[in-house]
């Protein structure tokens, strides 16, 4: 049976004393005014029995989790200990002065059961996004996407080949989850990184990354924000691999459009997102890609660059500076690359051969989504592109705040689901703190948003 202790936590003389002691402009007061747990309780109601002894109030656990992220308390044991004597924390959690603090193991039992099944933290985060939309903190014109490496709770020394992991009957929960995901979706999870076939014994879902001084296992915190306001609109956890981060960028754009009707006019990102496929996806979403193009056409070794050749869309061929045609010679489906090559006889007799090629015939490549690359190249020459690159720094500020101020430099939970939970709580807290600024105070609660 679902407990309701938070409903009675601010009554009685002791609670009134705490109410009087807490400053009127305290941060937790401003955050508390933004919270309404009605939707969360409704989502959790089906996961509790209608009979039996009342449980620990799930609202209490959610409020404790928010305190832990706001004040960078990553240990649940320490969080429970501080809740015993910190009056501001007790007030925020609506815990009466004489009430007992839940045992730290209660978090694990609820997190891996009811909270995860009900998607509580995804719901909490999306409620903060809707509040930002209602408050006018989202302009809807400019979005920025980026990813940052977050170290997993896994030692770099404890790595094994996937075949040497224990079977599911003897494995820990993160290993069992990884084995189940690997069986259900084999293709994206079997590869563990080029040249690094090992996985972590304790958290095999984490990817090995050399982005730090010493290689680490970790995850990518993928975030999409609206600029210049800085509200986080979408969050996704992926293993720290560039290919999966780019795929997460597509998922976040599509999910924001589906759930919030958010369709920005411009999308900014760094060069890691500058592939033809991603640029085409952004264009198809109705946005201009303000993203540097991944382009190797300037690596000419002193020969004619690609810009010296004219493409004829009707004939699907290039024309070289000497007026000869480079016909279409094939298409590579996995990479989406069309290949064009001149006739060897034309190149052999050409007076410009020394400036053009040292091969039998000059060859060129054109991406399947070359139109999107051309669009992005044209945008790179505009003033709005430079503005988008400046606004994109807001994502870096979000990462810095999450790691330095809110304790997300290293994950506390294991597995891809644990990483997603921590990222959602962190993004929800950052949105709440944005809303709780004095100039944003006085807004309506999250109920019904």
- 278-281 CB contacts, 8 Å cutoff, 24+ apart: 278/246, 278/249, 278/250, 279/369, 279/372, 279/373, 279/375, 279/376, 280/369, 280/371, 280/372, 281/250, 281/253
- pLDDT tens-digit readout, 123-151: 999 999 999 999 999 999 999 999 999 99
Exposed, middle or buried by CB within 10 Å (0-12, 13-18, 19+), for 63?
A: buried
Mean pLDDT of the 375-379 span: 93
- Residue 83 and residue 102: Cα distance in Å, rounded? 10
Radius of gyration of the chain, Cα coordinates, nearest whole angstrom: 27
Residue in 230, 268, 7, 26 with CA at minimum distance from that of residue 128? 230
Domain ranges of the chain: 5-118, 138-292+385-440, 306-367
Secondary structure class of 44 (helix, strand, coil): helix
CA pair distance 340, 44, nearest whole angstrom: 59
pLDDT at 38: 84
3-state secondary structure of 298: coil
Q: What's the distance, CA 78 to chain centroid?
A: 28
Tens digit of each residue's pLDDT (9 = 90 or more) over 236-245: 999 999 889 9
Measured distance CA(254)–CA(224) in Å, rounded: 11
Strand partners for 6: none
Q: Is 3 left (phi over 0), alpha (psi -120 to 50) or beta?
A: beta
pLDDT band at 258 (very low <50, low <70, confident <90, very high): very high
Question: For residue 12, what pLDDT is reported?
Answer: 58
CATH architecture of the domain 138-292+385-440 equals 2-Layer Sandwich (3.30)
Q: Percent of the chain having pLDDT more than 70?
A: 90
**In terms of residues, how long is the chain?**
449
Highest mean pLDDT among 2-11, 21-30, 388-397: 388-397
C-alpha 204/C-alpha 162 separation (Å) is: 8
Query: pLDDT tens for residues 404-429?
Result: 999 999 999 999 999 999 999 999 99
Asked if the model's pLDDT at residue 444 lies above 50, the reply is no
152/404 Cα distance (integer angstroms):
16
Question: Could you report the per-residue pLDDT of 44-91, keeping only the tens digit for each?
Answer: 888 887 787 877 888 899 999 999 999 999 899 999 999 999 989 999
| Angle value at C-alpha 221, between 204 and 412, nearest 5 degrees | 55
State the CB neighbour count (10 A cutoff) for residue 413: 19
Contact, 143 vs 268, CB < 8 A?
yes
Distance between CA atoms of residues 43 and 47, nearest Å:
8
Q: What is the pTM of this model?
A: 0.85
């Amino acid at each position: 049976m679902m407990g309701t202790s938070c409903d009675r936590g601010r009554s009685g003389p002791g609670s009134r004393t705490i109410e009087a002691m807490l400053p009127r402009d305290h941060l937790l007061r401003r955050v508390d005014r933004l919270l309404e747990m009605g939707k969360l309780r409704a989502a959790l109601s089906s996961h509790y029995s209608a009979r039996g002894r009342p449980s620990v109030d799930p609202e209490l656990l959610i409020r404790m989790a928010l305190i832990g992220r706001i004040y960078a308390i990553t240990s649940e044991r320490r969080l429970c200990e501080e809740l015993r004597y910190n009056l501001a924390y007790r007030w925020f959690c609506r815990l009466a002065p004489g009430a007992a603090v839940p045992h730290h193991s209660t978090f694990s039992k609820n997190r891996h059961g009811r909270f995860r099944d009900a998607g509580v933290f995804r719901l909490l985060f999306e409620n903060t996004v809707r509040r930002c939309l209602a408050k006018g903190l989202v302009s809807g014109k400019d979005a920025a996407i980026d990813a940052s490496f977050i170290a997993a709770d896994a030692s770099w020394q404890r790595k094994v080949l996937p075949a040497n992991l224990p079977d599911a009957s003897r494995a820990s929960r993160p290993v069992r989850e990884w084995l189940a995901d690997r069986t259900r979706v084999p293709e994206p999870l079997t590869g563990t990184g080029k040249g690094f076939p090992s996985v972590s014994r304790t958290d095999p879902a984490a990817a090995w990354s050399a982005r730090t001084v010493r290689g680490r296992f970790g995850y990518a915190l993928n975030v999409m924000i609206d600029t210049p306001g800085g509200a986080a609109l979408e969050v996704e956890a992926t293993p720290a691999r560039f290919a999966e981060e780019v795929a997460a960028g597509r998922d976040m754009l599509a999910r924001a459009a589906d759930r919030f009707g958010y369709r920005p006019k411009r999308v900014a990102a760094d060069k890691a997102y500058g592939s033809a496929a991603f640029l085409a996806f952004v264009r198809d979403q109705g946005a201009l890609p303000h993203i540097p193009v991944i382009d190797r056409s300037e690596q000419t070794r002193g020969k004619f660059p690609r810009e010296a050749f004219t493409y004829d869309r009707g004939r699907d061929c290039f024309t070289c500076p000497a007026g000869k045609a480079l016909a279409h010679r094939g298409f590579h489906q996995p990479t989406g690359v069309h290949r064009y090559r001149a006739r060897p006889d034309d190149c052999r007799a050409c007076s410009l051969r020394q400036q053009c090629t040292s091969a039998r015939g000059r060859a060129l490549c054109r991406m399947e989504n070359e139109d999107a690359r051309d669009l992005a190249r044209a945008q790179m020459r505009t003033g709005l592109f430079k503005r988008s690159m400046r606004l994109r720094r807001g994502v870096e500020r979000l990462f810095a705040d999450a790691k330095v101020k809110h304790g997300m430099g290293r994950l506390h939970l294991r597995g891809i689901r644990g990483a997603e939970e921590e990222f959602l709580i962190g993004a929800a807290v950052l949105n709440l703190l944005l809303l709780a600024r004095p100039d944003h105070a006085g807004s309506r609660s999250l109920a019904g948003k």
